[in-house]
Amino acid sequence: MALRPQGRRGYAAGALALAAALALTACGSDTGTSSGTSSGTTGASASAAGGAKLVQPGKLTVCTNIPYEPFQFKDDSGKVVGFDVDIVDLAAKKLGVTQNIVDIDFAVIKSGAAMAAGKCDVAAAGMTITPERQQNIDFSEPYFDATQALLAKKGTGAKSLADVKSKGLKLGGQASTTGLEYAKKNGFPDVTEYADSAKELLALQAGQADVIIQDLPVVLTWLKKPEIAEKFEMIATLDTGEQYGIGLKKGADPVLLKTINEEIAKAKQDGTYEKIYVKWFGKKPGELG
């Protein structure tokens, strides 16, 4: 849902990641909801997909946290789609496998526990690369430059985080995200936390928060909906210098990591990346902010 969601979502110590991984292993397959998606030709075995070792034969299993539109969300047919889905699909096609998406709590993803427990091969969840996360996760090369934004009910008169504080407005943020951490470091130690982006937006609509902090593309997507644009407005963007990466198990399979990095680089060179970007954001890279 990020640092998320913000580049999305907060920080976890190694001990927490290990404990969560053990808990996941004990829980078996009931931890997340699996939803297969697009493309590729089924591989013969878990270790034969272009030489990459995968947790399920013929599938690139991807952990994410839904909804986080336009990065990952369910369309009207119930299929998981989005920018992240299309980016990961490039690697899946190269490996000759299908992408299989598992919806799981973001805290379990950003701690590295989901990959450590073999719940998925990679995580694509609008996840900001941070030093803290790199202690437990290997990341691909960056694939998205992230910016935070403030969404407020109309008429607050606020134009910045400083205004939100001086006017005594209630600020909300998504739990475990970099946006939340940014707010805490900039004068809001008691910002109200919500479990996911959908609950964060509902809190704003219900008047539980006057302003919320979230990744710019997510805010812009919300504002495309007439019922949101009628009552709420984006009052500021926050250039936090974040970049998203595809997460892998610490000590990642070198073939899988290499394939992901090569496909991201190739897409940026041959125009595929720009095509996917425009598809989901309506603008070219660098034009969102």
User: Which has more pLDDT, 6 or 225?
Assistant: 225
- List the one residue out of 118, 139, 119, 121 whose CA is nearest residue 130: 139
Asked if residues 66 and 126 have their Cβ atoms less than 8 Å apart, the reply is no
- The arithmetic mean of pLDDT across residues 105-111, rounded, is 90
Q: Which helix (H) or strand (E) holds 150?
A: strand 144-153
Q: How far apart are CA 221 and CA 81, in angstroms?
A: 14
- The secondary structure of residue 28, as a DSSP letter, is G
Q: How far apart are CA 177 and CA 181, in angstroms?
A: 6
User: Which has more pLDDT, 116 or 288?
Assistant: 116
Quote the pLDDT of residue 35.
Answer: 53
* Res. 188 pLDDT band, cuts 50 70 90: very high
Tell me the percentage of the chain whose pLDDT exceeds 90: 74
Q: How far apart are CA 59 and CA 42, in angstroms?
A: 7
- The arithmetic mean of pLDDT across residues 59-82, rounded, is 94
Does residue 15 carry a pLDDT above 70? no
Fold of domain 147-241? D-Maltodextrin-Binding Protein; domain 2 (3.40.190)
Quote the pLDDT of residue 248.
Answer: 97
* Res. 49 pLDDT band, cuts 50 70 90: low
Listed range (11-25, 91-105, 224-238) with the worst mean pLDDT: 11-25
* Res. 288 pLDDT band, cuts 50 70 90: confident
Q: Is 152 exposed, middle or buried (0-12, 13-18, 19+ CB in 10 A)?
A: buried
For domain 14-144+243-281, the question of CATH label 3.40.190.10 is answered with yes
Does residue 281 carry a pLDDT above 70? yes
- The arithmetic mean of pLDDT across residues 33-60, rounded, is 63
User: Which has more pLDDT, 77 or 13?
Assistant: 77
User: Which has more pLDDT, 10 or 193?
Assistant: 193
Asked if residues 197 and 9 have their Cβ atoms less than 8 Å apart, the reply is no
Quick: pLDDT tens for 132-187: 999 999 999 999 999 899 999 999 999 999 999 999 999 999 988 889 999 999 99
Listed range (33-37, 40-44, 134-138, 197-201) with the worst mean pLDDT: 40-44
Q: Is 184 exposed, middle or buried (0-12, 13-18, 19+ CB in 10 A)?
A: middle
For the chain, the average pLDDT equals 85
Asked if residues 241 and 144 have their Cβ atoms less than 8 Å apart, the reply is no
Does residue 3 carry a pLDDT above 60? no
Rounded to 10°, the helix 83-95/254-270 angle is: 120
Q: How far apart are CA 140 and CA 108, in angstroms?
A: 18
- Domain residues of the chain, as ranges? 14-144+243-281, 147-241
